[in-house]
Amino acid sequence: MTRPGLPRLLAETRSGVLLFSITPPKRSTAEERIKEIAEVTLHRLSGLDLDGLILYDIDDESDRNPVERPFPFLATLDPARYYETHLSAWPQPVIIYRCVGKYAEDELSDWMRDADPERVLGVFVGPSSGGKSVRTGLRRAQELRAAVRPELPLGAVVIGERRDEHLRMLAKQDRGASFFISQVIYHVNETKNLISDYYYECRAREVQPRTIIFTLSLCGSLKTLEFLRWLGVDVPRWLENALRHSADPLTESYKHCLDIARDLRDYCEHLGVPYGFNVENVSIRKTEIEATTRLAADVAALLGR
């Protein structure tokens, strides 16, 4: 029996979804090099049993945090264009992120109309701060989808560090979101608080909880740690200590990511909240990229695949 495609897995809130996420190459990259990167990426992912691929849409978030960004911001290729032009050999569905504030309403509507809902899913991301001037707001983007392309499966981001995030999730659900993808998780306790609040609020409202996909990301260096912090990821002190003192922070964080995955899997199974994982790589170092691929395989094994 073949496993159903990602849209159906999410529509039926089946647990155990496994995704991998990538950031498209920088815009300044030469065409030949982009082709090469895409090929290497597809080759690396071909050995993994994934339900889909996430393509991020990177926004300049310098407004989010007055502190200098640890890694400089560089504009990246449009994720939908990168997918169409260079990843057409990818056999599974893709989830295209959209930082909606970057786009005019027409651009968003056109893209949604053209997307094949069997192969493409969307995730709308709102502006990183309230003061930012946007071309399309999150609420408006959700309305556009409802009007022009309700068939397109829509996801939303979830940030465990925010208070009352479970109420925000339910509001997004009311406006069409049918699954959630978390920010990078390093703090299992905060995440369990969120899952718990969400679960009991769904129960009180007699609403079916939607799949939450937890993002795991290795942290192979203090620079990466600093970057995660800058993004607002809450890293527990004991883990920071470990990464700071370890001769091999990559191995340390590998162990921790697997522990997180096991813990969240068990917790969601116990409560009965549909869940999945997204394995992400934020580094460009070869050792970290390879370790991330191994991590995805280990998480697949945790999910019984």
**CA-to-CA distance for 79 and 73, rounded, in angstroms?**
16
Least separation in angstroms between CB 126 and its own copies: 25
32 contacts its own copies (rule: CB under 8 A): no
197 contacts its own copies (rule: CB under 8 A): yes
192 contacts its own copies (rule: CB under 8 A): yes
Rg of the chain taking only CA atoms, in angstroms: 18
For tokens 């994934």, name the residue: 50
241 contacts its own copies (rule: CB under 8 A): yes
Choose one: 36-44, 65-73, 176-184, 190-198; the region binding its own copies (CB under 8 A).
Answer: 190-198
Q: Which residues pair with 96 in a beta bridge?
A: 55, 122
Name the token pair of 80. Answer: 């939908």
Cβ distance to its own copies smaller for residue 10 or 218: 218
Name the token pair of 104. Answer: 């005019």
195 contacts its own copies (rule: CB under 8 A): yes
Please name which of 267, 129, 138 lies closest in space to residue 194, comparing C-alpha atoms. 267
229 contacts its own copies (rule: CB under 8 A): no
Q: Which residues pair with 71 in a beta bridge?
A: none
Least separation in angstroms between CB 241 and its own copies: 4
Q: Which residues pair with 124 in a beta bridge?
A: 98, 156
Name the token pair of 189. Answer: 């306790």
188 contacts its own copies (rule: CB under 8 A): yes
Applying CB under 8 A, the residues found at the interface with its own copies are 187-189, 192-193, 195-197, 199-200, 203, 236-238, 241-242, 245, 255, 270
